[in-house]
A = this chain, B = another copy of it.
């Protein structure tokens, strides 16, 4: 198939060409009703922010241009059926969980998963068994899980129905997912993969393989994270007959707006075309640019640069750590002061997502690395906040919820001081954001290590989702 084509985007352009008169939604009427000053940003995109008009098809019942655009997507990812999502990887994770499992099913879940996976478990009222991931001492982050831990889980819970994996992790770490998938299929376990950060893996070496290529049954990808799609747009790929496509379709139409955004959908068409035409020359150019960038950063004495150029991980992810005892949050702030905005900070790292350049796109290496130098070579005047916090490593490989989801619904809660909460079950999610991986989960036991990590994160200035009572040093627990 010809991946230069963008059938949905082309249909929108064609519609726009007739200078249509709009007596339909949206209320801005192809941009005609919009405050002028705001129009400076929103025009001309509003001219294609339309609705399910003749010749523009319907996401929830595709027959023409959206059907063709999804066929091209299916072709490039070589799935059974791929779908455009306009409610993020979030709706992909919810859908794959709700479509794959029934109430009370036992599922094995990689613990360092995104909060949307946990919300999916809760909405589906499953019985999760969490598997503790490995830990990388250099980056000081949890990475992936091993085949041995899945074997251990399956031995302990032989009625388990499937696994939910996160591959790669937020920091670009891949792991041997192939042997896990093979083991699971041997034992009739369905394999769900949150591949939010790996939409570009399909381009092949030097990127890690996509879990789609390795046989995962259903895979979610955030197209907007590394491909040039608008924020909130994503892909869902059904890759085997183990997952019911009827159920997937049901949840997608139920959980996504019945007025999906055409600019978002067309940006998925454009992003698919971008990766579908990504060439060896592009990859060579990208590798050179990354190499040059890292080499320049390595010239800055105050930092250490971590990368995946030789590790088999995602080369787009690059981390910076301080040599002077600064936290990631402090480095991030310095970079922002010179106009460089980064993906996330954690106690130790600042994470960068390098652009997926094509060969003709200029990367202003000199100007950009100068900004890094300007920010990071300045004499540190601020007090350092001790980094290298001890990341709690649960001794157990497997943990289950102290209070299951169905019991949670009928269990009263109370709000108590954090320091008195150890041994109790959290009644709220507390999530450092980004990356969005919960530190405390609803129903999970609160441990000494977790409370220590929370105190460290608060001290260092991390941002959170949830944790409404943190300011009062309190937490909601089940009674």
Interface residues of A (CB under 8 A from B): 6, 9, 12-13, 18-29, 32-35, 38, 40-42, 44-54, 58, 60-61, 86-91, 94, 102, 114-116, 119, 122-123, 200, 222-232, 253-264, 266-267, 270-271, 273-274, 333, 336, 339-344, 352-358, 361, 368, 371, 409, 433-434, 436, 463-466
Contacts and interface: CB of A to CB of B under 8 A. Distances in A.
28 contacts: A9-B38, A13-B41, A20-B341, A22-B341, A23-B342, A23-B354, A25-B225, A28-B229, A32-B361, A33-B228, A33-B357, A41-B45, A41-B47, A41-B263, A42-B267, A45-B263, A49-B230, A60-B433, A61-B433, A61-B465, A88-B259, A89-B258, A230-B261, A231-B262, A232-B257, A232-B260, A255-B255, A258-B436
Contact of A46 (B18, B52, B230, B259): B230
Nearest to A358: B33
Given A45-B41, A258-B88, A228 B23 contact: no
Given A20-B341, A232-B257, A27 B114 contact: no
A33 B356 contact: yes
A231 B33 contact: no
Contact of A21 (B23, B227, B270, B340): B340
Choose among A6, A20, A255, A358 the residue with the greatest number of B CB atoms under 10 Å from its CB.
A255
A259 B231 contact: yes
Nearest to A406: B103
A429 to B, nearest CB: 9
A353 B23 CA distance: 5
A119 B254 contact: yes
B256 A21 contact: no
A123 B254 contact: yes
The 3 A-B pairs of least Cβ separation, nearest first, read: A88-B257, A23-B352, A119-B254
Contacts of A261: 230-232, 261, 264
Given A26-B225, A230-B46, A90 B357 contact: no
B29 A355 contact: yes
Nearest to A28: B228
Contact of A256 (B61, B90, B226): B90
Contacts of A60: 433, 465
Nearest to A250: B119
Contacts of A266: 38
A24 B356 contact: no
A26 B33 CA distance: 28
A477 to B, nearest CB: 15
A52 B27 CA distance: 27
Nearest to A271: B27
Contact of A231 (B26, B88, B354, B409): B26
Choose among A6, A254, A368 the residue with the greatest number of B CB atoms under 10 Å from its CB.
A254
B32 A355 contact: yes
A217 to B, nearest CB: 21
A339 B18 CA distance: 6
Contacts of A466: 61
A471 to B, nearest CB: 11
A58 to B, nearest CB: 7
A253 B355 contact: no
Contacts of A119: 253-254
Choose among A26, A27, A353 the residue with the greatest number of B CB atoms under 10 Å from its CB.
A27
A50 B18 CA distance: 32
Contacts of A339: 18-21
A28 B268 CA distance: 12
Contacts of A49: 230-231
B340 A23 contact: yes
Contact of A23 (B50, B86, B341): B341
Contacts of A44: 40-41
A342 B24 contact: yes
A319 to B, nearest CB: 11
A366 to B, nearest CB: 12
A61 B464 contact: yes
Choose among A12, A222, A223, A358 the residue with the greatest number of B CB atoms under 10 Å from its CB.
A222
Given A41-B48, A232-B260, A260-B232, A24 B58 contact: no
